[in-house]
Amino acid sequence: MTSPPPSPSRPPAASQPPSPARLPPSPTAPRVKETARPHPLTPLIRGWVVLLVIVFGVGRQLVPDGSGESPIKDLLRLGFGWLVLIVFGIVVLAAAAGFVTWYFTRFVIDDDELRVETGWLAKRSRRISFERIQSVDIVQPLAARVFGLVELRIEAGAGDSRTTLRYLTRQHGTQIRDYLLARAHGDRVTMAGSSTLPRASALTDLSASERRLVTITPARLIAGFVLSTEFLWTIMVLIVLLIVGAVLGQPVVSLAGLIPMVFAGFGLVSRRVAAQFNYTLAESSRGLRITRGLTNLTSQSLPLNRIQGVRIAQPILWRPFGWSRVDIDVLGYGASSGRDENRTDVSSILLPVADDAQVRTALTRVLPGADLDRLDLHPSPRRARLIRWFDGWTLRYGWNAAVIVSRHGFLNRSTDLVPHAKVQSVRITRGPLQRWLRLASVHVDTPRGPVDLVAHHLDPADARLLALSELDRARAARRVAPTAPGDIPVLERFGIVGVAPLGAGGESTVYPLGIDQVLRLYKDDHRAAAAMVRQLRPAYDTFARHDLGFRTPLIIESGELSGRTYTVDRRIPGTSLSAWLPTATPELRRQALLQFLQVAGRIQELPLPADGFGRIFGEDPRRFPTLGALLEDQLWTAVRHTKEWLDRDLPTEAVDRVIAEVRDRQCAPRLVHGDYFPGNVFVDVLPDGSPMISGVGDFSPHTLAADPVMDIAGAITLMGLEGAPGVQEDQAYLHRQAMMLYGNRMPDIAHWLDVYRRYYAIYYASDPAVYPHALAELGA
């Protein structure tokens, strides 16, 4: 006998996309304690850096400045040998100081925290508990890369709360990073088991568990730099300076401006090309990882739950190629915006120059639900062009269920997106000219960064409505149902903490993952979830090869994190029929219900995973000799948990009568969904406004190899669980249509619809919410 069937599940049975591998935790990992020093070559690398500084400083002094004097000349009078000796002495002293610092520096990793101890005369110990760690980045400066060493930078809060471990071997540094990130996410892992094993090298830092999402080629990076507005302005200024110098006949005048502009050009090359060279955005088990850099290789961990907003910028010369730059507001980065492109630590650049497909890929990871192609943007009033005469026609704003959006700019078109749950405050501003023109701007505030969302120059009434409605959306987005503690690591891994689920049922909860993907997170009390996913996946693959006019689920990838099983599924287009029906006109409602009934009759055409009658998925998938034996076992399993209620409220023979009737049913085994109700069926609206059933989801332990009439009866019976007005009329309409559609082929269909109506009433009666409906169906 199986355990009692769960009550009818009510997730929007969506379906499914990919996700990278994850690192399963070990809840009983042994206690950890590691004490170590940085690598012994650390003093040498620091001495090398000092030598470079000296050479650079001396070289600057050797360049004539026109005065005829240079402090270096006094040193040169001592002779070249003395000069080399002085430089050597400084380097040795720097190396000695580095040795003392290295010798008295050690870090300790125990079961609760990271402790970094430094100092010789004055001891200093910094303790960082694992739960405070926000990100761990790996940086490989040029000198360290030569020796195969890395620098570890640990962010434990906003501002200057950074701890640096320099230098470690690549393998050791990557292993410590993975361990600290695992512990920061609450996983009890060992040091050895925390990494999958990194293949970090002098050119990349991607492990076997990470999946590349976007790679920016050097050719596109250079082309984007050459076509950037900043580079073109620099070239124009250089040309103007040369022309001015030629006209005046004074090359010195041009030289005075040329030198700083050349340095500015080198700075642009450093920021836009060298610092972003070999740019790769990858998906890891802890969020996103960015690797970049030509001379200094930086590996930046990006926790998705810290992303507060996104800016997409398109310079005018990039638009013919469909290129964009994507920047993000990240909690704790502060003013580290796009101006700090050449920084070797954190950067707010998500994509330096990317095409539309790459932008969409990145957006689905950082802002699930931000579908710009389907988002209507409203223009500002025409009188706004009196203020913004140069780009007033570009001013737009809008929102959907996930984000609020603004767009502006002609030479450099910028689109700002902020998730409703990340909005800190909303304010309305009106300057003197705006008051005169009856205009107002709405500002949506987020932490400091490149994103600055402003709906410019709206009608005051529209501005007030937008501000108040956005406050309501922000409150609603933060007021989601409490998340089970075990769900949080999985939601963090996909960056959707705080995102409202699409639906929840007896076995799982479904969350949006962008336009065409959903995350299905199985509940902690759902037994054998991993085993059922292994059963569902090949069956779904087989279903997908049969075109019946509607979609079925498709699992792209599955996994387990922190003891919770999840799948990433292809999303079925449209919305659940349960949510759509109350919004439809009577005529459209009837059209959708007829299709709903027709699809119930076509499910039987999907292939069975095995021959004979039986349970297909769940804890106890097994075969039965007859349909009657299968359904009798199903009912007695359910009655075992509701028998006391049913004996009290129903005649004794009610259950026995249904069992006796199903024993007499003769038919060939066909696929039966078993939970076919509007919440598991999807409807899409065609361009002409007519509805179309787009898919059926959530095949589950209720799914059987049994009598196909069961789904037709389920469509009618389970419709009664819908709470919307007019449900009884819908049931009557479905019953009449069933008689018309299937009566000729099955003269006794009315009898079996009645039998299965009572069968489902008993089967699902274990749910207290369904029990009153079950009694009504059984005639109590």
CA 569, CA 780: separation in Å to the nearest integer?
A: 42
Q: What is the pLDDT of residues 207-243, one digit of tens each?
A: 655 778 899 999 999 999 999 888 888 888 888 878 8
Question: In the predicted model, what is the mean pLDDT of residues 507-527?
Answer: 77
Return the percentage of the chain with pLDDT > 90, whole number.
29
Position 73 confidence tier, pLDDT thresholds 50, 70, 90: low
The pair of structure tokens assigned to 463 is 């501005």
**DSSP structure class, residue 441:** E
Could you give the 3-state DSSP secondary structure of residue 376?
coil
Q: How many CA atoms lie within 13 A of 628 on its CB side?
A: 11
Say which residue, 682 or 765, is predicted with more confidence: 682
Q: How many CA atoms lie within 13 A of 583 on its CB side?
A: 11
C-alpha angle with apex 346: 342 to 349, nearest 5 degrees? Answer: 70
CA 593, CA 595: separation in Å to the nearest integer?
A: 5
Return the percentage of the chain with pLDDT > 70, whole number.
79
Say which residue, 304 or 171, is predicted with more confidence: 171
Say which residue, 45 or 40, is predicted with more confidence: 40
Position 32 confidence tier, pLDDT thresholds 50, 70, 90: low
- Following CA atoms 223, 225, 228, 232 in sequence, which dihedral angle do they give, to the nearest 10 degrees? -100
Cis peptide before 742 (omega within 30 of 0): no
pLDDT at position 137: 87
Report in angstroms the alpha-carbon separations of 317 from 227, 321, 521: 6, 8, 44
Question: In the predicted model, what is the mean pLDDT of residues 137-160?
Answer: 80
Cβ count near 607 (within 10 Å): 11
CA 325 vs. chain centroid, Å, equals 19
Poorest-confidence range of 121-135, 178-192, 411-425, 454-468? Answer: 178-192
Collect all residues with Cβ–Cβ distance below 8 Å to 644 and sequence separation of at least 6: none
pLDDT at position 26: 41
Could you give the 3-state DSSP secondary structure of residue 87?
helix
Say which residue, 753 or 335, is predicted with more confidence: 753
Whether 624 shows a pLDDT value over 90: the answer reads: yes
CA 309, CA 420: separation in Å to the nearest integer?
A: 10
Question: In the predicted model, what is the mean pLDDT of residues 72-98?
Answer: 70
DSSP secondary structure of 557-589 = EEEEETTEEEEEEEPPSSEEHHHHGGGS-HHHH
Position 25 confidence tier, pLDDT thresholds 50, 70, 90: very low
Question: In the predicted model, what is the mean pLDDT of residues 556-573?
Answer: 86
588 within 8 A of 688, measured Cβ to Cβ: no
pLDDT at position 335: 47
Whether 369 shows a pLDDT value over 60: the answer reads: yes
pLDDT at position 346: 62
The pair of structure tokens assigned to 434 is 């705006």
CA 112, CA 97: separation in Å to the nearest integer?
A: 32
Whether 525 shows a pLDDT value over 70: the answer reads: no
Q: Which residues pair with 388 in a beta bridge?
A: none
CA 385 vs. chain centroid, Å, equals 38
Whether 764 shows a pLDDT value over 50: the answer reads: yes
Whether 157 shows a pLDDT value over 90: the answer reads: no
SS3 content of the chain, % helix, strand, coil (to 5): 40, 25, 35
Question: In the predicted model, what is the mean pLDDT of residues 490-508?
Answer: 74
CA 559, CA 670: separation in Å to the nearest integer?
A: 30
Whether 527 shows a pLDDT value over 60: the answer reads: no
pLDDT at position 541: 92
CA 451 vs. chain centroid, Å, equals 19
- Following CA atoms 572, 574, 575, 576 in sequence, which dihedral angle do they give, to the nearest 10 degrees? -60
Alpha helices in 620-724 (DSSP H): 627-649, 653-663, 709-717
pLDDT at position 58: 59
Say which residue, 135 or 224, is predicted with more confidence: 224
Poorest-confidence range of 18-22, 78-82, 258-262? Answer: 18-22
Give me the phi and psi of 301, to 5 degrees please.
Answer: -85, 135
pLDDT at position 406: 97
Give me the phi and psi of 610, to 5 degrees please.
Answer: -150, 160
DSSP secondary structure of 5-29 = PPPPP-S----B----------TTP
717 within 8 A of 757, measured Cβ to Cβ: yes
Say which residue, 553 or 513, is predicted with more confidence: 553
Mean pLDDT for the chain? 80
Question: In the predicted model, what is the mean pLDDT of residues 282-297?
Answer: 80
CA 34, CA 194: separation in Å to the nearest integer?
A: 14
262 within 8 A of 272, measured Cβ to Cβ: no
Which residue is associated with the tokens 């119930």? 600
Position 378 confidence tier, pLDDT thresholds 50, 70, 90: very high
Q: What is the pLDDT of residues 422-441, one digit of tens each?
A: 899 999 999 999 999 999 99
Position 75 confidence tier, pLDDT thresholds 50, 70, 90: low
pLDDT at position 50: 63
Domains of the chain in start order, with CATH, are: 303-479 (no CATH), 485-570 (3.30.200.20), 575-777 (3.90.1200.10)
The pair of structure tokens assigned to 680 is 């598991």
Poorest-confidence range of 149-163, 276-290, 351-365, 599-613? Answer: 149-163
Whether 3 shows a pLDDT value over 60: the answer reads: no
